[in-house]
Amino acid sequence: MSLKNVFKRWEFILLVLIVAELAFFGILSPGFLNLGNLLYSTNDFAHVLIVAIPFTLVVITGGIDISVPSTMGLVSIIFGLTWKFAGFPIWLAVIAALGTGILAGAINGLFVANTDINPIVLTLGTQFLYSGLATGLSGSIGASGYNGIGGFPDGFNNLAYGMVFGLPNALVFSLLFAAAIGVFLAKTSTGRSLYLVGVNRNAALFSGIKVKRSTVTTYVLTGLGAAVAGIYLTAYFTSSRSDIGHDALMPILTAVVLGGTDINGGAGTILGTIIAAVLLGYLKQGLMTIGVTSDVSQVMVGIILIVTIVGKVLAGNAAQARLNRAALKKIGSS
Amino acid sequence: MKFLMKLLKRREVVVVLLLAIVVAVVGAINPVFVRPATLIDIVTSALILILLGVGESFVIITRGIDVSVGAVMGFAAVCLGLAANAGLSVPLSFGIAVLAGLVAGAISGAGVAFFKVPPIIMTLGTMGVLRGLMPVMTGGSWIDAVPQTVKNFAAARFLGLPATIWITLAIVIVTTIVLRRVRVARYFYPVGDNEEGAFLLGIPVAATKFAAYVISGGFAGIAAIFFVSQLSFVPMQAGSGQEMRAVAASVLGGVSLAGGLGTPIAPLVGGVFLTAIDSILVFLKVPAFWNDAVAGAILLAVVLFDYKIRTMMENEKKKARMLGRASGGLSGGLASGRKPADAQEGLR
Amino acid sequence: MAVTTETLISMKSIWKFFGGVAVLKGVDLDLRAGEVHSLLGGNGSGKSTLMKILSGAYVKDQGTVEAGGRPVVFAGPEAAHEQGIYLVPQEPKVFPNMSVFENVICGMRAKPAEMLGLVQKYAQDLGFEGSLSDEASSLSIANQQLVEIIRGLVRDARVLILDEPTSTLTFKEVKSLFETIRLLTSKGIGIFFISHRLNEILEISDRVSVLRDGVIVMTEPTSTLSSGDLVRAMLPAGEAKVELENAARGEVRADAPILFEASHLTGEGFTDVSFKVREGEVLGFAGVVGAGRTELAHAILGLDSFASGDVLMRGKKLTRRSPRACQDAGIGYLPEDRHLHGIFLDLPNVDTMTAGILSRLGKPFISRKREDEVAKKYIDELQIKVSSGAQVSRTLSGGNQQKVVISKILSAGPELVILDEPTRGVDAKARLDVYRLIRSLKKSGISVILISSDLSEVIQESDRILVMHNGRIEAEFAQGDFDLERITASAFGIAG
């Protein structure tokens, strides 16, 4: 596709920005550029990465999913619950947790695909419901508040801290997941149809594309991503909590938008999302290293989100105006 | 009789009736519930939600959404607390809270109205920024106490009821009247009902949208006043999660998410209803941590029910048209299914 | 129609660019009091853009607009209203949740109580059916249009712009609208009548201007014009009249097997429609807009959940219909509105062309080579004017865009192709290509259902013609009986 030329440039710019920011923080705090440190700190934002990947698909088809944070929390609680109170072996609890995420995504997807209710409203509602369920469940087993359910076997907790081939587990998983979804999106017919649905839903329908099926798929994959992220965070914090991932929506959304995906659908790449997520993740890490609190970095992420979109609009207007002025000059004054 | 039928068509009336029925049923099970003190308590707890809902309604009527109202309230509460504890007078501190809300709303409004940022994104961004700002402003800790003079606001009584109830009621009534009578205020409806049509009729669409968000912020500021004086301290999570409840209260009470429909009475009725549900759950011995799940289920049910009703009515119209032409009718009703693709556009 | 010499509006050298592309290239147009001035032009010729500039919705890039002899600059629609100019949009923009009365006075500064009498008077004058307190969502399109016209009158409009007002009206409603127009012009109001319906233009207007490629190529009194003159004016300079030998069309064997059958189809917009199509046959569906043909096609595709009746391909019933199921069964559909339903404007051509056959481009991964082969094949076969499949569709002319969508339909290898208004908004050269395509399809044994409101086109290309009117099949014409007058009469519901 010829659009690839445009995107290639933007992803390249993002890469340059990563290098620049690493250099910036490295200068302010020399220990920052330690390779081991850099790799290890990806654990902090791996959950954003994992969810942002399928989230990109949802946005490409013109939808949005506000419920991912609450899905993560619900998954975490289900995991803890089934392990501690239903006596599930760890691997079965993991499966139960994954299933919860898939179910949550499927519910979102089915509602979005089969009703004309706005995805924002729908997922706002399911977010409310899922987080309510998470709170309710954790309260009913006495795990509310800051304690959560703990005491998982070390093997499980090490999932979040272990390494494979010298790279942190979470990073490896994220990259593999990204590769799989990225190839799916760019090269398979179902993946291609997602773009078409995002650009012109009606035309996609008339072309014989199974629009409903595509829509549901994107939400199910997002639910799955949220489940994996929820399980990961549970291991990372060594406890099951209903509010796990509660502040993850903004970084996820910002990563997708900053990565070049059009919020109205029809354009975007997985590569862009990953690079943007890494950019944002290291931004937070770097800020922490130089002593800036995570609250301030949250403010910055929010500003980046707004500025990105405003910037796109302004750039688009400027480009149009430039083209029009040039054309006007050509005809002179008649 | 006809008047009664017309009244029943209004969602607000239906919700009030529903509430009355529910209260009666619960009261029968547990008479403590229907004691005046309990009912007044419910209404008092609902006030913050009602105020947030009224502001949110303005935005929803213009076919937008504001998910930052909780964060704006928290931000305004922090401003209020800091100002009061710094020795500023109560009226001034209250004014600062409202001002903080208006400013926050103005930022969201500018993004949506002038830069065409989708409302969900803009208000998510504002929410994130404000949530991060709050601990920065307080140095990370909660605001543990506020001066007694601030707390007095919540404690004041008038004619046997808390003054706060009267004030809220007055606010809702005034807002409703303004929306109905003041010409410029009426602009919110056409902008939400058919934005392009509003533009073609010369209505200042951008300014109207901007105003909706400013108003939403302002009401969140007012809600902060109630919050701080009722609670007497400001936790860092102040307002967290309230935006969903504000939307739920409005939608429950009859504000349409597609825009163009609804009055400030809606969040009043919806807010009381939702808060009553919380109390009812307590009286039915359901643990408090299930409140949100129930509220969420109710919101989803309302949204889905609303959709079902709409589709049913459209199908009825379709059938009528089909029957009409099958019997040879000639004029009218030739929409031929060509409706502008509107459903997905608005709230983005 | 009391046409005076008073000039209400004068537009000179109007230029308008979108993204560097000139849509209006120096347009000169004027309007006199009491006149109906028609503006004719193909899709994309700039008619709507010009009128949006006049009514204040768009800002011109260059040129002057004079109202009542004085130059005016409009900051927005309200400024145009103050000058007495009102645009009745192609699709009425009513507020569904407000009453008719509120709809009319919305945005006006006067108090509602003061306006009530005036609105009632106009509603009565125009024959508006229904009460002013009805909710606008319950109005028919025709009545919605009246609401728009009343809006203009109430704002003291002296200039009314009617943008394609008849495209969604029944025959009776069109007659009613024309009476309204005559009433308004008798009071000195000037009307711009934008349309692509030649017969209506000839009937109602005093002068006709033709807009082609961003400039006005002709402004003449209607009395001096024939429909042939109008058609010729819309063709690019130097194009000869379209002529194709009937003989080159080929014959349909009377015993050719039945390929497709529709049985008692009833749905929103059509009632009890049954017909058959043979192999290699071109079946024309004539009628005016609103006859129900597109609705019928959509129902065949399974897009109308209320439709009853059956569709059979080669005798086998299609049980659950959907665009995909129909495609698999060998039915292809070229949508009436290619922008809305057919083409992915902001993507490269090849993406639209392959949208229907994605799963056939290779498993598990789409083969770029196969994609390019498909694109090249159709670019050559249909002579699409593009640099390559990678060119973005938005930059193409209407005719070439149509060819891109046709490629998509053909790529799936259909046995029956339903063409819904295939030459609408298509320049004359591309139109010829479409006719050639229909004939070559027929030659290769593919059947065609040709839905078109251009009756001469239907006569020229079909083997058999069905005329639909108001949702029913009104008449059937065999090849020997093709008669433009009788077919036209049927299309308008006049028994012949």
What phi and psi, each to the nearest 5 degrees, are found at residue A313? -60, -45
Domains and CATH numbers, chain A: 3-292 (1.10.3470)
Banded model confidence at residue C388, pLDDT cuts 50, 70, 90: confident
SS3 content of chain C, % helix, strand, coil (to 5): 35, 25, 40
β-sheet bridge partners, residue C331: C416
Give me the pLDDT at residue A8, please. 62
B304 with A302: Cβ contact below 8 A: no
Could you tell me if C26 and C87 lie in one domain? yes
What is chain A's length?
Answer: 334
CA distance A59 to chain C (A): 17
H/E run at residue B174? helix B163-181
Residues 6+ apart with CB under 8 A from A219: A58, A63, A65, A105, A106, A108, A109, A112
Task: Specify the range with the lowest mean pLDDT, choosing from A116-120, C111-115, C286-290, C406-410.
Answer: C286-290
- Residue C345 covered by a domain: no
Question: The pTM is what?
Answer: 0.84
Count of CB pairs separated by less than 8 Å, A with C: 108
Give me the pLDDT at residue C1, please. 47
Could you tell me if C187 and C266 lie in one domain? no
Could you tell me if C165 and C268 lie in one domain? no
Mean pLDDT score, C296-319: 89
Could you tell me if C212 and C287 lie in one domain? no
Local structure of A230: helix, strand or coil: helix
d(CA B144, CA C382) in angstroms, rounded, equals 77
SS3 content of chain B, % helix, strand, coil (to 5): 75, 0, 25
Banded model confidence at residue A133, pLDDT cuts 50, 70, 90: very high
Dump pLDDT digits (tens) for A294-308: 888 889 988 998 999
Question: From the CB of residue C248, how many other CB atoms can be counted at a distance below 10 Å?
Answer: 10
Could you tell me if C259 and C224 lie in one domain? no
Report residues of chain B scoring pLDDT below 70: 1-2, 4-9, 321-348
Local structure of C259: helix, strand or coil: strand
Q: What is the dihedral of CA B51, B52, B58, B64, to 10 degrees?
A: -170
- Residue C373 covered by a domain: no
Local structure of C478: helix, strand or coil: strand
Most confident of A7-21, A226-240, B304-318, C172-186: A226-240
CA distance C490 to chain A (A): 31
Q: What is the dihedral of CA B181, B184, B190, B191, to 10 degrees?
A: -150
d(CA B105, CA B107) in angstroms, rounded, equals 5
Half-sphere exposure of A305 (CA within 13 A, CB side): 30
Q: In chain B, which residues have their Cβ closer than 8 Å to the Cβ of C304?
A: 337
- Residue B155 covered by a domain: yes
Question: 93-132 in C: which are within 8 Å (CB) of B?
Answer: 93-98, 106-107, 109, 129
Most distant CA atoms of chain A, gap in Å? 85
Give me the pLDDT at residue A153, please. 82
- Residue B302 covered by a domain: yes
CA separation (Å) from C407 to A205, A206, B184, C391?
17, 14, 52, 15
Give me the pLDDT at residue B332, please. 33
Q: In this prediction, does ipTM exceed 0.85?
A: no
Domain holding C447: CATH number? 3.40.50.300
Domain holding B245: CATH number? 1.10.3470
From C182, C206, C234, the end of a domain falls on C234
Q: Are the C-beta atoms of B250 and B69 separated by less than 8 Å?
A: no
Q: Are the C-beta atoms of C101 and C119 separated by less than 8 Å?
A: yes
Dump pLDDT digits (tens) for B318-347: 777 666 555 443 333 222 222 333 333 333
Most confident of A95-99, C69-73, C234-238: A95-99
Q: Please give the DSSP secondary-structure letter assigned to residue C240.
A: P
- Residue C368 covered by a domain: no
B348 with A132: Cβ contact below 8 A: no
Burial of B25 (0-12, 13-18, 19+ CB in 10 A): exposed
CA separation (Å) from B250 to B53, B58, B59?
6, 10, 11
Question: 214-273 in B: which are within 8 Å (CB) of A?
Answer: 241, 244, 247-248, 257
DSSP string, C442-463: HHTT-EEEEEES-HHHHHHH-S
Asked if the C-beta of A183 comes within 8 angstroms of chain C's C-beta atoms, the answer is yes
Q: Are the C-beta atoms of B68 and B88 separated by less than 8 Å?
A: no
Local structure of B260: helix, strand or coil: coil
Question: 98-117 in B: which are within 8 Å (CB) of A?
Answer: 111, 115-117
Could you tell me if C223 and C272 lie in one domain? no
How many domains are there within chain C? 2
Closest to B130 in 3D by CA, of B181, B44, B66, B53: B66
Give me the pLDDT at residue B326, please. 52
Give me the pLDDT at residue B7, please. 67
- Residue C387 covered by a domain: no
Question: From the CB of residue A125, how many other CB atoms can be counted at a distance below 10 Å?
Answer: 28
Those chains having 3 or more beta-carbon pairs within 8 angstroms of chain A are B, C
State the residue range of the domain holding C320: 247-330+414-491
The beta-carbon neighbor of C323 closest among A199, A200, A205 is: A205
C93 with B200: Cβ contact below 8 A: yes
d(CA A122, CA A129) in angstroms, rounded, equals 11
β-sheet bridge partners, residue C22: C17
Distance of CA C387 to the CA centre of its chain: 29
pLDDT above 60: residue C179: yes
Give me the pLDDT at residue A274, please. 94
Banded model confidence at residue A332, pLDDT cuts 50, 70, 90: low
Q: Please give the DSSP secondary-structure letter assigned to residue C164.
A: S
- Residue C396 covered by a domain: no
For A11-49, b/e burial (b = at least 16 CB within 10 A) is beebeebbeebbeebbeeeeebeeeeeeebbbbbbbbbb
Crossing angle between the packed helical segments B69-85 and B205-231, to the nearest 10 degrees: 50
pLDDT above 50: residue C249: yes
Q: Are the C-beta atoms of C420 and C450 separated by less than 8 Å?
A: no
Amino acid identity for residue A202 in this structure: N
How many domains are there within chain B? 1
DSSP string, C239-304: PPPP---SGGG----TTPPEEEEEEEEEETTEEEEEEEEETT-EEEEE--TTSSHHHHHHHHTT--
Local structure of B166: helix, strand or coil: helix
Local structure of B76: helix, strand or coil: helix
Give me the pLDDT at residue C68, please. 84
Helices first, then strands: H and E counts in chain B: 14, 2
From C200, C234, C268, the end of a domain falls on C234
For chain C, the average pLDDT equals: 85
Closest to C472 in 3D by CA, of C323, C189, C271, C231: C271
Could you tell me if C161 and C185 lie in one domain? yes
Question: From the CB of residue C261, how many other CB atoms can be counted at a distance below 10 Å?
Answer: 16
β-sheet bridge partners, residue C32: C7
State the residue range of the domain holding B64: 46-267+285-324
Q: Are the C-beta atoms of C150 and C104 separated by less than 8 Å?
A: yes
Mean pLDDT score, A246-258: 92
Asked if the C-beta of C167 comes within 8 angstroms of chain B's C-beta atoms, the answer is no
Give me the pLDDT at residue B119, please. 93
Could you tell me if C230 and C257 lie in one domain? no
Could you tell me if C184 and C284 lie in one domain? no
Q: Please give the DSSP secondary-structure letter assigned to residue B34.
A: G
Closest to C164 in 3D by CA, of C33, C40, C25: C40
pLDDT above 80: residue C4: no
Question: From the CB of residue A126, how many other CB atoms can be counted at a distance below 10 Å?
Answer: 24
Closest to C385 in 3D by CA, of C363, C404, C365: C404
Asked if the C-beta of A323 comes within 8 angstroms of chain C's C-beta atoms, the answer is yes
Q: Please give the DSSP secondary-structure letter assigned to residue B287.
A: -
Half-sphere exposure of B275 (CA within 13 A, CB side): 23
Give me the pLDDT at residue C42, please. 65
Q: Which two tokens stand for residue A99?
A: 């299933």
Tokens 């469940």 correspond to A137
d(CA B297, CA B288) in angstroms, rounded, equals 15
Distance of CA A153 to the CA centre of its chain: 28
Banded model confidence at residue C250, pLDDT cuts 50, 70, 90: low
H/E run at residue C161? strand C159-163
C323 with A333: Cβ contact below 8 A: no
- Residue C125 covered by a domain: yes
Tokens 């250099």 correspond to A23
Q: Are the C-beta atoms of B290 and A139 separated by less than 8 Å?
A: yes
What phi and psi, each to the nearest 5 degrees, are found at residue A50? -60, -40
Could you tell me if C105 and C192 lie in one domain? yes
Q: Please give the DSSP secondary-structure letter assigned to residue C342.
A: T
Could you tell me if C188 and C268 lie in one domain? no
Q: In chain A, which residues have their Cβ closer than 8 Å to the Cβ of B291?
A: 132
CA distance C377 to chain A (A): 18
d(CA A60, CA A265) in angstroms, rounded, equals 4
Question: From the CB of residue A3, how many other CB atoms can be counted at a distance below 10 Å?
Answer: 17
Could you tell me if C80 and C124 lie in one domain? yes
Q: Which two tokens stand for residue B113?
A: 């109205």
